[in-house]
């Protein structure tokens, strides 16, 4: 054990001193989700008018304040992210946040190329344990990667609210340059990153699609379930399965009860046998209490492990289940944009799709309702500017409330037939006519 307590007090500074470290022209990095500072981000935002040419990366911000709102053409603080949520989607639409295309796995390469190491990484961590290890809380993401890369690391140290997990989910005091203790009484201004779909009719449609998806899941599969109501709808239909494993970016609704009941036990996994392996815990506090009681069974790691395609592909029967926004009749999948406008981001979807289709016995599934309002989500061709997230070469299974389409090994004609068959019945005739006009049928 290192003699870290003797060095701890020498690193403690005030919040004002912490944000005063920023100078013009610097590059900043903010921790993601639970590791995103709350007090310090607000104070940094207050400095935006006096700073010049500061570049800040905040991919999953939990502070909903304004960045670079100064009415001038001169750049003060430019915020960039590779994923949009309720917190920053409005700022993006107003041109106050810049989107940079990257997955969560490839985004860390910016520390090696383009911007280089960040000048300062601002993190939020839990109080150190007896060994001097500070928890990153309920999500790891790229926190440890950024801490290793940054020239200076500043950590907001929270008195409470930072759960501890097994795996690789701590940062040692000796890896931190400055510490800013934050009392538990400090009123955090945090907004949720997302919200559930509560429309009863839409939920009923997604429930059917989820049941169709669950029919494809085999005993002994290791699952990844991505963000979104459509992909999460599969969980409640997995109760009859046996010996499922879990290796996923997120821990969606319904996963923890299935673990507690023994449906997820990881016995058949090829690696991390018997472990639930993720980079982010569920937001539900009751679920977190269950995980805390099973401390050794849940492991959190950074995106360099969780999202590594070679790691994912090494898991036999790896099955990725993700949401799509739109798909054309050749199998091109759009999942993070509406037209030219980004709505979310790729997250780790493409890495999990690649890993799943390369896995021995693995499969990739995309779930979506057949309609969005009065428009079909299955289209003869994508609209101009649509961002293809998954190329048709990787499209595998596509599921709606009307059934399952299988893409692998199929010709363009056969793919079009499969997809038209699971489109809304009222629109199938139009899709067929459009497919004939395009030469697909």
The residues that are catalytic are 249
CB of 132 closer than 8 Å to CB of 274: no
What is the C-alpha to C-alpha distance for residues 315 and 246, in angstroms, rounded to an integer? 10
- Label residue 131 exposed, middle or buried (CB < 10 Å: 0-12, 13-18, 19+): exposed
Q: What tokens does 101 get?
A: 């295309």
Q: DSSP readout, 4-37?
A: THHHHHHHB--HHHHHTT--TT-EEEE--GGGS-
What is the C-alpha to C-alpha distance for residues 235 and 258, in angstroms, rounded to an integer? 8
Instruction: Tell me which residue has tokens 């392996």.
Output: 277
Region of residue 233 (phi > 0: left; psi between -120 and 50: alpha; otherwise: beta): alpha
Q: Give SS3 for 147.
A: helix
Q: What tokens does 208 get?
A: 């059917």
What is the C-alpha to C-alpha distance for residues 265 and 248, in angstroms, rounded to an integer? 14
Length of the chain as a residue count: 441
Q: Give SS3 for 373.
A: coil
Per DSSP bridges, beta strands 276-278 and 97-99 are: unpaired
What is the C-alpha to C-alpha distance for residues 148 and 157, in angstroms, rounded to an integer? 18
What is the C-alpha to C-alpha distance for residues 417 and 411, in angstroms, rounded to an integer? 10
Beta-carbon contacts of 286 under 8 Å, excluding residues fewer than 6 positions away, are none
Q: Give SS3 for 288.
A: helix
Q: Which of 102, 346, 365, 103 is nearest to 232 (CA)?
A: 365
């Amino acid at each position: 054990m290192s003699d870290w307590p003797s060095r701890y007090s020498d690193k403690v500074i005030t919040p004002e001193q912490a944000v005063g470290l920023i100078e013009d022209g610097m590059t900043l990095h903010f921790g993601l989700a639970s590791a995103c500072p709350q007090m310090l981000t607000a104070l940094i935002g207050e400095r935006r008018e006096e700073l010049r040419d500061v570049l800040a990366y905040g991919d999953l911000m939990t502070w909903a304040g304004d960045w670079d709102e100064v009415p001038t053409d001169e750049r003060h603080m430019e915020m960039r992210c590779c994923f949009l949520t309720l917190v920053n989607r409005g700022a993006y639409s107003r041109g106050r946040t810049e989107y940079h295309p990257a997955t969560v796995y490839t985004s860390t390469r910016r520390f090696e190329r383009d911007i280089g190491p960040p000048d300062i990484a601002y993190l939020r961590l839990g109080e150190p344990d007896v060994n001097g290890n500070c928890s990153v809380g309920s999500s790891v993401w790229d926190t440890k990667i950024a801490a290793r890369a940054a020239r200076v690391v500043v950590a907001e140290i929270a008195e409470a609210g930072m759960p501890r997990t097994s795996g690789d989910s701590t940062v040692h005091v000796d890896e931190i340059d400055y510490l800013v203790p934050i009392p538990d009484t400090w009123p955090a201004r945090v907004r949720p990153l997302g919200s559930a779909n509560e429309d009863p009719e839409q939920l009923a449609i997604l429930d059917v699609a989820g049941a169709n998806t669950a029919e494809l899941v085999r005993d002994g599969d290791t699952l990844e379930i991505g963000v979104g109501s459509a992909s999460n709808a599969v969980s409640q239909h997995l109760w009859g399965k046996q010996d499922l494993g879990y290796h996923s970016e997120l821990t969606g609704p319904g996963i923890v009860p299935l673990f507690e009941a023994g449906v997820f036990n990881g016995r058949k996994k090829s690696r991390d046998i018997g472990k639930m392996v993720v980079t982010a815990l569920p937001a539900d506090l009751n679920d977190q209490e269950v995980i805390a009681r099973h401390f050794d069974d849940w492991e959190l790691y950074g995106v360099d492990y969780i999202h590594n395609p070679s790691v994912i592909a090494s898991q036999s029967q790896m099955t990725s289940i993700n949401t799509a926004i739109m798909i054309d009749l050749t199998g091109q999948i759009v999942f993070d944009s509406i037209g030219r406008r980004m709505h979310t981001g790729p997250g780790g979807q493409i890495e999990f799709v690649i890993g799943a289709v390369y896995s021995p016995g693995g499969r990739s599934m995309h779930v979506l309702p057949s309609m969005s309002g009065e428009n079909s989500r299955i289209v003869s061709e994508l609209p101009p500017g649509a961002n293809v997230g998954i190329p048709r070469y990787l499209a595998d299974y596509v599921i709606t409330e009307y059934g399952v389409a299988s893409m692998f090994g199929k010709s363009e004609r056969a793919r079009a037939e499969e997809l038209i068959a699971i489109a809304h019945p009222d629109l199938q005739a139009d899709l067929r006519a459009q497919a004939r006009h395009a030469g697909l049928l």
